[in-house]
Structure 1
Amino acid sequence: MGAGMNHTVLPPATDDRDLLAALKAVLTGHEQVSISTPEGSVPLPDSVLGLLVDAVTALDQGQAVTVEPHRTVLTTQEAAELLGITRPTLVRLLEAGKIPYTSPGRHRRVELADVLEYLQRERVRRGQVFDEMAHEETPDPGDATDGFVSTR
């Protein structure tokens, strides 16, 4: 799955936005969505349907969409790039047990699903930390004095 398989779609002209809205309504409806061909009808799997909903929603919001295939087993360098960290930092996470890995030979391999799960856990953890910080009461240094803080 080389770089040549990437496919970017630009948002349509404003004239076609009504078509996107109609397509999104069909995709997000409560009925099974199928593709019809002269040979018959094929139902869309939930994973493909979700991908289409995300793509149509982004296009409807005026964003470009890129579909890029990923292997399901990654090297440490590929996993680090996906997480936006250095390879040595990823290796420390692996050795700390934060992301599972295998070593079929000399090199570590990481499952894409495990990397994505770690990414989601980190997003949730960071959100909780930000919420805690927002609700923390930090005493104002000016309250304890007459408004001036000595720096020497």
Structure 2
Amino acid sequence: MNNAEVASPQPDPDAVHTAEIAMRRVRRYLADHADERDIRVVVGGDADDTLSLPRSAVELLARVLAHMAAGQSVSVVPARAELTTQQAASLLSVSRPYLIGLLDAGEIEYRKVGKHRRVRADSLMAYKRRDDHDRRDAADELTELNREMGLY
């Protein structure tokens, strides 16, 4: 998959409620069966209709359900997927011109296909992790300064 669709619908209230219940059950199962590598899942109501899933897929499902339970839309993008600049900007919640500035400044790796830029999803997520970390550090520093000044 070279390109990825990053738009996903916002979960409705029924989906949020269902996701919250499912998330708790899946997390509890994973905690209670920490040694299991493959997890059998009954599809529908028929015990004869089961699937064997890798633990990592069920752990990913738990994370997806957690976001849905919080009312957030969810997109799954393969790490090696190449995104357009608009898709990458949408994932970062920034404008396309701002993203292009980041690309041109060398903050995020990309390649050119003809005149078009393509951003690998894993490079974009690495930038997002660095940026989130830097923001947390700055907020912690401001909090500490406020404490020292007696403003907190």
Alignment TM-score, normalising by the size of structure 1: 0.67
- Residue 45 of structure 1 and its aligned partner are, at CA, apart by 4.5
Secondary structure of 2:123's match?
helix
What stretches of structure 2 of length at least 5 have no aligned partner?
A: 43-47
Alignment TM-score, normalising by the size of structure 2: 0.67
- Root-mean-square deviation (Å): 3.5
Instruction: Indicate if the aligned counterparts of 1:11 and 1:63 stay in contact, CA closer than 8 A.
Output: no
- Relative contact order higher in (CA < 8 Å, ≥ 6 apart): 2
CA distance 1:107–1:45, change in 2 (3 Å)? farther
Aligned partner letter, 2:27: K
- Residue 67 of structure 1 and its aligned partner are, at CA, apart by 4.0
Among 27, 36, 39, the alignment partner of 1:34 is 39
Partners of 1:95 and 1:67 in 2: how far apart?
28
Instruction: Indicate if the aligned counterparts of 1:24 and 1:57 stay in contact, CA closer than 8 A.
Output: no
What stretches of structure 1 of length at least 5 have no aligned partner?
A: 141-152
CA displacement, residues 69-99 of structure 1 (integer Å, 9 cap, x when unaligned):
4462111111111111111111111111100
Among 82, 94, 119, the alignment partner of 1:85 is 94
1:144 aligned residue? none
2:45 aligned residue? none
Partners of 2:88 and 2:6 in 1: how far apart?
16
Partners of 1:23 and 1:139 in 2: how far apart?
45
1:23 aligned residue? 26
Query: Quick check: which one's helix share is greater?
Result: 2
Partners of 2:99 and 2:137 in 1: how far apart?
23
- Residue 103 of structure 1 and its aligned partner are, at CA, apart by 0.4
Partners of 2:75 and 2:140 in 1: how far apart?
34
1:149 aligned residue? none
1:117 aligned residue? 126
CA distance 1:58–1:97, change in 2 (3 Å)? closer
Among 39, 63, 75, the alignment partner of 2:70 is 63
1:129 aligned residue? 138
- Identical-residue share of aligned pairs (%): 25
CA distance 1:36–1:86, change in 2 (3 Å)? closer
Structure exhibiting the larger radius of gyration computed from Cα positions: 1
- Residue 107 of structure 1 and its aligned partner are, at CA, apart by 0.4
